[in-house]
Amino acid sequence: MVLCLIFSAIAAPAPGPTATSDPHARDYRPYNDGVSGERYFQIHPGYDETKCLDVRESGYADGTPVDIFDCNGTAAQNWVIQPGTTQVKVAGQNFCLDAGNPSNGLKMKIWTCYPGLPAQTWYYTDDKRIALKDQGYCLDLTNGNSANYEVMQVWKCTNGNTNQIWSV
């Protein structure tokens, strides 16, 4: 089954590529946990499918850093993301990607999910950014460094900033 995700863009981003013009575009193929029916995805920096957004050492607790790590198939790299306004949730857990009080360079963490909490309300934009809804901040690959254990940050969404491109 192929699931197409349609997301709205944040205010004033550059027009994103269309599915037909993007050479890296692919159908979204969610994984299924086989128990709850929850669909989850791995989230990759840019188009590097060897690296994944990762919950540090599978530490499911408030404040655990969210880093980049070699994709290894562990549950710590499985994320639930829905079309439109969404929380980015750790699959099978009640923890969400959380930006706290966002500012440039603020390190990312997971926190217990609270519906409607601005620090946990995201959009996956047409130009492949994971952006805090109505706040102008994007999930950012810190200094463009994809080394294992590099903690992710938020940074003002900036056109052309490849550190803010994520594939699902």
CA gap 159, 117 in Å, rounded: 26
Q: Which domain holds residue 95?
A: 31-167
Q: Is residue 37 part of a domain?
A: yes
Give the number of domains in the chain: 1
Q: Is residue 70 part of a domain?
A: yes
pTM: 0.78
Where residue 60 sits, what CATH number does that domain have? 2.80.10.50
Closest CA to 66 of 100, 95, 89, 97: 97
- Is residue 16 a part of any domain in this protein? no
Q: What is the mean pLDDT of residues 40-51?
A: 94
User: Would 12 be classed as within a structural domain?
Assistant: no
pLDDT the model gives residue 37: 57
Say what the pLDDT of residue 6 is: 33
* Tens digits of residue pLDDT in 136-166: 999 999 999 999 999 999 999 999 999 999 9
With bands split at pLDDT 50, 70 and 90, how would you rate the model's confidence at 65? Answer: very high
Place of tokens 């980049």: 68
Assess if residue 35 is contained within a domain. Answer: yes
What's the confidence (pLDDT) of residue 32?
46
Report if residue 3 sits inside a domain. Answer: no
pLDDT digits (tens, 9 = 90+) for 80-89: 987 678 899 9
31 and 41 Cβ atoms separated by less than 8 Å: yes
The answer to whether residue 25 is domain-embedded is no
In-domain check, residue 93: yes
